[in-house]
Amino acid sequence: MSKISCQCGHENPYGTELCEQCGRPLSKKAKESDIVDMRYEGASRRSQTYKSSIIDKIWNFFSSVKIGVGIIVAVLLASAIGTIFPQKFYVPATTDAEYAEYYERLYGVVGKFYFELGFYDMYNSWWFKVLIGMLATSIIIASIDRVVPLYKSLKKQRTRRHPSFMKRQRIYGEGAIENTAESFAKAEEELKKMRYNVKTENGAILAEKHRFSRWGPYVNHTGLIIFFVGVLLRGIPGFYVDEAMWIREGETRNIVGAPGYVLENKGFTLENYTKEEAEEVFGAALDKVGSIVKTYKTDVTLYKEKEGSLPGSDNLEKVEDYAIVVNKPLKFNGYNVFQMDYKLDELKTMTFHLVEKSSEASLGEFTVDLSNPEKEYDLGNGASVNMLGFYPDYDGIKDGEPYSKSPVPNNPAFIFQMNTPEKPTGEKSFVAIRQTLEVEQNDYAIKFAAAETRNISGLTIRKDKTLYILLLGGLVFMIGVIQGMYWQHRRIWIQEDADGHVLIAAHTNKNWFSLRKELDKLRQSTALPAYIDRQDPELDKPEQEGDEEIWT
């Protein structure tokens, strides 16, 4: 790969379109064009240089913007397809068969294909991840390939450019003016006033501003890469905790995923808006929809294992009381505990009477705390009740014994022994909801009197060490897009050629309108040739003749 020598003597890398120093068009394409392509300053992108090995070919593939846009569009389409029907994680099913059934039942044949093609779990599919990976690869390689030559080229640019470069700029003008030197001095002064960096080189001016905006794309790409790294780190154990737990009112429980911390649920509150509090404003809306929830709240106390104690030892110290509401998670040591869900009205206590069957007289009542029942309930007057069996989720008799299918008190059943002065040896009774069984005819019975319920809070526990990395990625991205999009790299070249003609050319990477405004302002105070914008044929005729009325 040979270097390309320019007439000015500068050696340019292979593939260069415009000489890095003087701007002479070098390639055939550049020589033939009316307006030169100023992207990357006509510098040679590395990818275009070498096409020999397979690695170079892969490299060039990812370096191409066309491919990059293709990948973006592919991600876009895949994402869109993923929203047609609910994704797997919003579907109430667990097995593949259930999923298949769900999609087919609700969405028919289309749903069936949606499931079978794997679109129902689009964002976790391997090929979606491959697409994202390709996007990241493309961002990295395309940026590396462009930023280096652009940097070199902008660094090497000379103040005086070759006329063939000037003539091929979109904004160009030439003409003879009187008193060139004075005009140039004035122009330099005016340009500086407009906050341009002005360089001069015997009869040539290069005014430049906001070159930093050229780095915007590379900065924002860096931000994206940082973001991707953050997402990737979440896959490493320890960086990311995502757990959920149910905790009953009154329960004290280890916090899942947060070793060493214990939470006590002191009460769950679900509150609706009432008309009384804001009749005037919200009355109409409440009439229309019935009720609107105001708060989901779990009052908790957070405990921590004391230093040096072992897990499970119950050697706890209180950290704080807190009310977890939606949008206000409990935060400690990098963990966040969120209010996510709730279940209302699980049985908490049941109150019973001990009754003499014949007289229906009560010998007293006792209350069973279903989460912490007692062995014996003393009713006074010599009567007591012993707990012989407790089946919180009674599900019939199995192997000759009552069977509880879970530890949750959905359908509590008990075997009580009733001790009374009349029957000091006791009578046994099996008591379940709406059911009483007796081994032999009893004189006494246990009668259900009342029940209390409690609520369960569904909490989510998160710890995400990558959040700050993600945030940094977002910040860098924002800096990049703002520097690249809210500023423009503008350059104005003014020079006198060998024949005493004055040439003026200007370039900006965007926002030509403002550049023209600045040029017009410059021409107001300084005698400089009129210019044309060759991409705006609709510009008023008078302008080309030097009429300044329009843009003043």
Q: Under rule CB under 8 A, which residues in 329-388 are in contact with other proteins?
A: 329, 336, 338-340, 370-375, 387-388
Please state, in angstroms and rounded to a whole number, the distance separating the CA atoms of residues 464 and 335: 8
Using CB under 8 A, which of 176, 179, 311, 548 touches other proteins? 311
Is there binding between residue 531 and other proteins (CB under 8 A)? no
Instruction: Write each residue from 144 to 183 as x if it is in contact with other proteins (CB under 8 A), else as -, in one continuous string.
Output: ----------------------------------------
* Smallest gap from residue 533 Cβ to other proteins (A): 8
Is there binding between residue 538 and other proteins (CB under 8 A)? yes
* Spatial contact of 466 and 240, defined as CB atoms under 8 Å apart: yes
Nearer to other proteins, 77 or 176 (CB): 77
First to last CA, the chain: 51
**Which residues 6+ apart lie within 8 Å of 120 measured at CB?**
85, 87, 88, 91, 99, 103, 114
Is there binding between residue 39 and other proteins (CB under 8 A)? yes
Per rule CB under 8 A, count of chain residues that contact other proteins = 124
The closest alpha carbon to 61, from 43, 149, 53, 126, belongs to 53
Please state, in angstroms and rounded to a whole number, the distance separating the CA atoms of residues 14 and 47: 11
* Smallest gap from residue 340 Cβ to other proteins (A): 6
Using CB under 8 A, which of 5, 7, 33, 79 touches other proteins? 79
* Smallest gap from residue 363 Cβ to other proteins (A): 22
Using CB under 8 A, which of 25, 59, 153, 504 touches other proteins? 59
Nearer to other proteins, 156 or 405 (CB): 405
Is there binding between residue 27 and other proteins (CB under 8 A)? no
DSSP 8-class letter at 309: P
* Spatial contact of 38 and 73, defined as CB atoms under 8 Å apart: no
* Spatial contact of 120 and 78, defined as CB atoms under 8 Å apart: no
Contact set for other proteins, span 195-234 (CB under 8 A): 217, 232, 234
* Smallest gap from residue 464 Cβ to other proteins (A): 8
Nearer to other proteins, 343 or 357 (CB): 343
Type of residue numbered 344: L
Residues linked to residue 81 through DSSP beta bridges, in sequence order: none
Nearer to other proteins, 31 or 39 (CB): 39
The DSSP line for 355-387 is EETTT--EEEEEEEETTS--SEEEEETTEEEEE
Is there binding between residue 536 and other proteins (CB under 8 A)? yes
Contact set for other proteins, span 397-426 (CB under 8 A): 404-407
Contact set for other proteins, span 464-503 (CB under 8 A): 467, 470-471, 474, 477-478, 481-482, 485-486
The closest alpha carbon to 464, from 258, 322, 224, 220, belongs to 258
Is there binding between residue 67 and other proteins (CB under 8 A)? no
Contact set for other proteins, span 90-119 (CB under 8 A): 90, 106-107
* Spatial contact of 295 and 325, defined as CB atoms under 8 Å apart: yes
Using CB under 8 A, which of 312, 380, 400, 421 touches other proteins? 312
* Smallest gap from residue 151 Cβ to other proteins (A): 17
Is there binding between residue 296 and other proteins (CB under 8 A)? yes
Nearer to other proteins, 50 or 99 (CB): 50
Contact set for other proteins, span 255-294 (CB under 8 A): 256-257, 259, 262, 273, 278, 280-282, 284-286, 288-289, 292-294
Please state, in angstroms and rounded to a whole number, the distance separating the CA atoms of residues 511 and 489: 10
Helical axes 54-63 vs 65-81, angle rounded to 10°: 70
Using CB under 8 A, which of 199, 510, 521, 530 touches other proteins? 510
Is there binding between residue 541 and other proteins (CB under 8 A)? no
Is there binding between residue 462 and other proteins (CB under 8 A)? yes
Rg (CA), the chain: 40
Q: How far is CA 256 from CA 46, 299, 336, in A?
A: 52, 18, 12
**Strands of 252-254's sheet, edge to edge?**
252-254, 261-272, 293-305, 316-325
